Structure 1
Amino acid sequence: MSSEWWGRGERCLHGPRRDAGRRRRAEVRAWQSARTFEDVAVLTAQWLRGLLLFHPNGHRGGTDPETLPLVDVLAAANRAGILTVQSQPGELAALHGRPWRQRAFVTAFVADPALARALHARAAEAGLVVRAYPPRCRAGEHGARDAVDVTFWEGHGVMTAIGDRMPPRAVGRTFPGCDRQAVREVVGAWQVTLIDPEWGRDTLLWPFLTRFLNSQEGEPT
């Protein structure tokens, strides 16, 4: 085997790895350059769309498969100033032979108080469970502060509960490496979680969010 042939093969082997490394470094720099709440929301929308593979919150290969059907509405929410950080569809399934249940939910930060209050009010009217925390408030706007169970595995009990207020340190851990000013703006935003009260249903939260976003188009912020 000639060294020339081997050299070409080695370049072919490592070329894709180098390209992947360059892309990863470029995406890390993009997150590091985020200076505002809006910058972080725009990058999150791009990540949801698959334009970025890296997200500082531990994601290295794009969104989870269960998130793919929600990409359009979640990306639209981020472009509208609703910075999403967690979500899941409603689902009734089996895991290792035991029933598994999920409630649809989305957790987000909203920097605009008027937008946050409108989202809270309209979601409650639509029949969704809402947890909404103004900046620096430990209890929700209407006093609620308890988490809501959103995943349940028979034989193991509740696996996930959502809706508690995230303290500033937890927010920082969600966006490690981003500019401090951007993280401060996220910390200073409202925290809003919307939850479908019915296990397994996936036809209330996402259509509502789509309608809400459509209703906000053209309105002053």
Structure 2
Amino acid sequence: MSTAAALNGRAVGVKETMRGRLAGRRDACQRRRTEARAWYQARGIGELAALTARWLRGEMLWTPNGHVGGPDPETLPLVDVLADLNLAGILTETSQPGELAAFHGRPWRQRAYVTAFVADPALAQMLAAQAAAAGLVVRAYRPGRRVDENGERAAVDVTTWEGHGVMTGMGDRISPRAVRRTFPGCDRQAVREVTRAWQVTLIDPEWGRDTLLWPFLGLFINSRTAQTG
């Protein structure tokens, strides 16, 4: 092959690569617009929860609060139970598995937890009561209340890193402003329903354990499905 032919072939290859990248970007932009429209068109907390379930299962790439490309790797083993919670009317907000590890050579500890919004008061109270009976730490806030059902209001440590102290605390009340920041661009009425929902956080009291919270939630969902089905 001549030098000219080789250079021409290389140029063609570069053009095809650029075209492929541009097409990929156009497709990504189109998908983002489509998914943003779906979030905007959600007309209640139930529809927001259904979209969250789709995102957890990889059927959507985008969420209003900036998560792109699906859940974090540590969340992947929890996808099924989290998606089922959302489809049961329990809108999950954040979660993490239990873990004992090392980060930059120093011990890293996590407690398993999940935070959710529940519009149905009976469902919220049932979830909180059964979780407490199972041995989980529970923070359950009625709409508009600044203290939970047991008079607690402080966050519970859920992530620590030796030498740096507490990295994350969960279980304190989420303000309406923070809720609105979580769902930017969504329908106002839908977001208002979230701000008026119960806030329930469930935390495993034992560091690193991953065998209490998630099995409990699976049993809770299955029991509720049996009752309502």
TM-score after normalising by structure 2: 0.92
Match of 2:174 among 166, 170, 175: 166
Aligned pair 1:29/2:13, yes or no?
no
Aligned twin of 2:208: 200
Counterpart CA distance in 2 for 1:195 and 1:22 is 39
State the partner residue of 1:106.
Answer: 114
Q: Distance in 2 between matches of 1:218 and 1:13?
A: 48
Counterparts in 2 of 1:33-72, with a 5 A limit?
33-72=41-80
The one-letter code sitting in structure 1 at the alignment partner of 2:77 is P
Counterpart-to-counterpart distance in 2, 1:70 and 1:16: 30
* Separation in 2, partners of 1:90, 1:25: 35
Q: Which has the higher helix share?
A: 2
- 1:168-187 maps to which residues of 2 (within 5 A)? 168-187=176-195
- Tell me the secondary structure at the aligned position of residue 108 of structure 2: strand
% identity of equivalent residues: 68
Q: Cα distance, 1:12 vs. partner?
A: 2.6
Offset at residue 11 of structure 1 (A): 2.6
Say which is worse superposed, 101-110 or 136-145, in terms of deviation. Answer: 136-145
Hey, what's the Cα distance between the residues in 2 that align with 1:55 and 1:119? 26
Distance in 1, matches of 2:137 and 2:87, equals: 23
The answer to whether 1:133 aligns with 2:147 is: no
Of 141-150 and 8-17, deviating more is 8-17
Structure number with bigger Rg: 2
Residue 154 in structure 1 maps to residue 191 in structure 2: no
The yes-or-no answer on 1:211 pairing with 2:219 is yes
Helix, strand or coil at the partner of 1:83: strand
CA RMSD of aligned residues (A): 1.6
Asked if 1:16 is matched to 2:24, the reply is: yes
The residue identity in structure 2 corresponding to 1:158 is V
Amino acid paired to 1:169: R
Structure 1, gaps ≥5 residues long: none
CA deviation after TM superposition for structure 1 residue 220, in Å:
4.5
Match of 2:130 among 100, 122, 128: 122
1:149 alignment partner, SS class: strand
DSSP-derived class of the 1:151 partner: strand
Distance in 2 (alpha carbons) for counterparts of 1:28 and 1:47 = 12
* Partner residue of 1:74 out of 73, 82, 104: 82
Other-structure match for 1:145: 153
SS class of match (1:217):
helix
Aligned length: 220
Give the match's secondary structure for 1:197. Answer: coil
Distance apart, 1:13 and its partner CA: 3.0
**By how many angstroms is 1:171 displaced?**
0.5
What secondary structure, in the 3-state scheme, does the structure 1 residue paired with 2:28 have?
helix
Of stretches 27-36 and 148-157 in structure 1, the one that deviates more from structure 2 is 27-36
Q: 1:202 deviation in Å?
A: 0.3
2 CA distance for matches of 1:13 and 1:178? 30
